[in-house]
């Protein structure tokens, strides 16, 4: 199939890189976002998100004349839906007394509805948003049928999960293997034709529900594995073991690859997607449910660690290093670091947070430092929450000259303990209680 024009709905972390990459590969692209500020920002040549290399690709896409943006779709050969699927914050499911989060499919639903008036025979529609199993067949196809056209007969319909890693999006978009699940084999083939415009990784065709499951399985697998690492950290602490040393030794076994413990699991993917499986089949997902609970409880475990290091939290001034959900990104969504800071404050501590990737972040109830120095200035303790590269490079003597704090709580195992101890710091680490 030949694609001259593609309409991409949702210009966030996935839609914008995808749209600009299609455009730099010679396809006319209309990027659509319901948020007029995003459309204005892009039209003025700026971007609204931080992702290495993205600014240059968007600039190249605009300069090519192939990329335009709007709040409304237009007729196109293909439509790609790449809008967020967060969970409801005030609506929960229940099974056997256990409560679980529910996917908010509102954005997917309205983006699909927005396509209906522009859908023509022979078009291709692809859903990329992470969704509960059977969404393409049971939510998307019926909405698109309002056009009078039927998926599989009059137009092609497919699900293709995005699997790019924030921080590496532009490279992974092109190089990763891509799964395309069609509601019919012809739809999968049409999807493969579309993505082969820029994808260099293998393109694998399957059915739509398998492709939906694949995405959820990948992120759930990671969540469960991080949960076991976090539980190992708690056990190591109890038994007087250094979990980081124990993991590195266990990982020398040829079939073991334990991930890293930390302050918890955040972001808009791994901390969200497993709930889609729980919601879809709570009677079958006790392991997935428990793993989510373990990871969601990890920020509280970190607060206990801080309490232990400081004796009490009441009135203590703490410099929190990092608020992003993971290293070297500016994304604060569902960040465990934010949760740690909130709980510390509830327990009476006064926290000042320094996030070098988003110094002017506006996070409710959190007091942001204007610089590292500002965070350290009056602090009693330093709490390291995100393994940003620039924090790894901090020098103990330099930090000692900027603060009276001589207590460090390291949740990411990023510093050489001996070096910091020689500079006069008492260091507590997550998952370590050497006896």
Q: Could you tell me which of 134, 142, 144, 135 has the C-alpha nearest to residue 113?
A: 144
- Contact by Cβ (8 Å): 234, 305: no
CB of 74 to ligand SAJ, least distance (A): 27
Helices (H) and strands (E) in the chain, counts: 17, 16
DSSP letter for 138, please.
I
CB of 260 to ligand SAJ, least distance (A): 4
Of the residues 269, 316, 326, 352, only one is catalytic, namely: 269
Bridge partners, residue 182, by sequence: 158, 207
Q: Could you tell me which of 194, 172, 12 has the C-alpha nearest to residue 108?
A: 12
CB atoms within 10 A of CB 201: 14
Q: Is 50 in the site for ligand SAJ (CB under 6 A)?
A: no
Q: Is 165 in the site for ligand SAJ (CB under 6 A)?
A: yes
Interface region with ligand SAJ, contact rule CB under 6 A, candidates 17-25, 103-111, 257-265, 362-370: 257-265
Interface region with ligand SAJ, contact rule CB under 6 A, candidates 91-99, 159-167, 355-363, 416-424: 159-167
Q: Could you tell me which of 313, 310, 338, 311 has the C-alpha nearest to residue 405?
A: 310
Q: Measured from the CB atom, is 70 or 168 closer to ligand SAJ?
A: 168
- Contact by Cβ (8 Å): 50, 86: no
Q: Is 262 in the site for ligand SAJ (CB under 6 A)?
A: yes
Instruction: Let me know if 269 is a catalytic residue.
Output: yes
Chosen residue from 15, 267, 274, 356 binding ligand SAJ by CB under 6 A: 267
Q: Is 325 in the site for ligand SAJ (CB under 6 A)?
A: yes
Q: Measured from the CB atom, is 123 or 335 closer to ligand SAJ?
A: 335
The alpha-carbon radius of gyration of the chain (Å, integer) is 24
Q: Which residues, 123 to 142, sit near ligand SAJ by CB under 6 A?
A: 130
Rounded-to-integer distance, Cα 13 and Cα 69, Å:
15
Q: Measured from the CB atom, is 149 or 214 closer to ligand SAJ?
A: 214
Q: Is 109 in the site for ligand SAJ (CB under 6 A)?
A: no
- Contact by Cβ (8 Å): 258, 233: no
- Please, what is the angle between helix 15-24 and helix 54-63, to 10°? 50
Q: Could you tell me which of 415, 408, 417, 412 has the C-alpha nearest to residue 431?
A: 412
CA 391 to each of CA 186, 356, 371, 372: distance values in angstroms, whole numbers, following the listed order: 50, 10, 13, 10
Q: Measured from the CB atom, is 265 or 306 closer to ligand SAJ?
A: 265
Q: Measured from the CB atom, is 352 or 387 closer to ligand SAJ?
A: 387
Q: Is 15 in the site for ligand SAJ (CB under 6 A)?
A: no
In the block, which residue shows the tokens 């920020």?
Answer: 299
Per-residue x/- track, 268-287, ligand SAJ (CB under 6 A): -xx-----------------
Interface region with ligand SAJ, contact rule CB under 6 A, candidates 178-186, 197-205, 262-270, 392-400: 262-270
Interface region with ligand SAJ, contact rule CB under 6 A, candidates 76-84, 160-168, 310-318, 352-360: 160-168
Instruction: Let me know if 215 is a catalytic residue.
Output: yes
Burial (0-12, 13-18, 19+ Cβ within 10 Å), 283:
exposed
Burial (0-12, 13-18, 19+ Cβ within 10 Å), 417:
middle
Q: Measured from the CB atom, is 326 or 352 closer to ligand SAJ?
A: 326
Of the residues 101, 215, 316, 326, only one is catalytic, namely: 215
Rounded-to-integer distance, Cα 102 and Cα 93, Å:
6
Per-residue x/- track, 180-219, ligand SAJ (CB under 6 A): --------------------------------------xx
Residues of the shown chain interacting with ligand SAJ in the complex, contacts defined by CB under 6 A: 130, 162-166, 218-219, 222, 226, 259-260, 262, 265-267, 269-270, 325-326
The catalytic residue positions are 215, 269
């Amino acid at each position: 199939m030949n694609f001259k024009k593609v309409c991409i709905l949702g210009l966030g972390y996935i839609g914008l890189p995808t749209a600009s990459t299609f455009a730099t590969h010679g396809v006319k692209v209309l990027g659509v976002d319901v948020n007029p500020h995003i459309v204005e920002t892009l039209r003025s040549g700026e971007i609204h998100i931080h992702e290495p290399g993205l600014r240059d690709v968007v600039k190249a896409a605009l300069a090519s004349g192939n990329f335009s943006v709007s709040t409304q779709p237009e007729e196109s050969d293909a439509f790609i839906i790449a809008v967020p699927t967060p969970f409801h914050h005030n609506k929960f499911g229940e099974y056997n007394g256990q409560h679980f989060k529910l996917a908010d499919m509102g954005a997917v639903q309205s983006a699909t509805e927005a396509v209906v008036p522009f859908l023509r025979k022979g078009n291709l529609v692809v859903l990329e948003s992470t969704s509960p199993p059977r969404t393409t067949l049971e939510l998307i196809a019926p909405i698109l049928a309002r056009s009078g056209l039927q998926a599989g007969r009059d137009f092609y319909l497919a699900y293709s999960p995005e699997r790019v890693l924030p921080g590496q999006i532009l490279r992974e978009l092109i190089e990763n293997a891509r799964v395309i699940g069609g509601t019919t084999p012809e739809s999968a083939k049409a999807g493969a034709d579309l993505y082969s415009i820029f994808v260099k990784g293998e393109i694998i065709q399957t059915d739509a529900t398998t492709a939906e499951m694949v995405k959820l399985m990948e992120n759930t697998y990671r969540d469960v594995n991080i949960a076991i690492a976090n539980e190992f950290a708690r056990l190591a602490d109890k038994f007087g073991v250094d979990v980081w040393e124990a993991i590195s030794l266990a990982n020398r076994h040829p079939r073991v690859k334990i991930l890293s413990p930390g302050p918890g699991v955040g972001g808009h993917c791994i901390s969200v997607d497993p709930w889609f499986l729980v919601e879809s089949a709570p009677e079958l997902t006790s392991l997935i449910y428990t793993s989510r609970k373990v990871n969601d409880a990890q920020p509280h475990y970190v607060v206990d660690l801080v309490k232990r290091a400081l004796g009490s939290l009441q009135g203590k001034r703490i410099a929190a290093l990092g608020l992003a959900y993971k290293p070297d990104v500016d994304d604060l969504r569902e960040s465990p670091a934010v949760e740690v800071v909130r709980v510390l404050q509830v327990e009476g501590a006064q926290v000042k947070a320094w996030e070098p990737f988003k110094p002017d972040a506006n996070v409710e109830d959190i007091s942001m430092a204007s610089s590292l120095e500002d965070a350290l200035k009056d602090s009693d303790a330093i709490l390291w929450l995100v393994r940003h590269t620039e924090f790894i490079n901090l020098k103990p003597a330099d930090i000692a000259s900027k603060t009276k704090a001589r207590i460090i709580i390291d949740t990411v195992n990023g510093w050489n303990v001996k070096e910091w101890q020689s500079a006069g710091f008492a260091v507590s680490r997550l998952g370590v209680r050497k006896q």
